Amino acid sequence: MANIILLGPPGAGKGTQAKRLVDERGMVQLSTGDMLREAKTSGTEMGRKMAEVMARGELVTDEIVIGLIEEKLAAGAAGGFIFDGFPRTLRQADALGALLARSGARLDAVIELVVDDEALVGRIVKRAEEAQAAGQPVRADDTPEVFAGRLRAYYKQTAPLIGYYHAKGDLRQVDGMASMDAVAAAIAAVLDKA
């Protein structure tokens, strides 16, 4: 059992790899992006406000996101948790450390998926085109304009976590530019050593 964080810019492949770990290792994926997308369809005033924030490519408040994670952690996970897209700020990272310590759990690794900015925007545009061609809903934040804002938010608010976890000795870097299978193999190698 291992608890890991998947860290990286938007479109780095965190969600893609988390889903594989769920299938292959029985881990539990905690994707704050998925949780927020679900919450925003709730029809509540808070859901409407969150939808606006996400459509601008900005981060939802720490309080909301930490609350969502706290609820899910309480249920436990025999195979370990994959924190996908969380933490995204230093405050969220401190909160996660405190929540894990309180439940007697520990973080086994923080895996940073390293991808060039140009490749990221290409992936997002491709995802939007593929969804449209398949008649599926296109994410409101999957446009080059909003993506630029998401990337700015990443460098300003999330990238400092790389140094934070490096200083703790938890950071492992994986080449996220490789094929999905190659990225999965690199993550498996990290987990096997954790």
Residues marked as catalytic:
14, 88, 127, 139, 150
CB of 51 to ligand B4P, least distance (A): 10
Judge whether 147 is annotated as a binding position: no
For residue 66, which of 34, 45, 96, 46 has the smallest C-alpha distance?
96
Q: Which two tokens stand for residue 83?
A: 């924190």
Q: Which chain residues interact with ligand B4P by CB under 6 A?
A: 8, 10-16, 32-33, 36, 53-54, 57, 59-60, 65, 85-86, 88, 92, 123, 127, 141, 150, 179-180, 183
The answer to whether 46 touches 147, Cβ cutoff 8 Å, is: no
Nearest residue (CB) to ligand B4P, 178 versus 194: 178
Cβ-based neighbour number of residue 119 at 10 Å: 14
Ranked by CB distance to ligand B4P, the top (closest) residue is: 33
Full strand arrangement of the beta sheet holding 81-84: 28-31, 81-84, 4-7, 109-114, 171-175
Q: Which is nearer to ligand B4P, 104 or 137 (CB)?
A: 137
Binding residues for ATP: 11-16, 127, 178
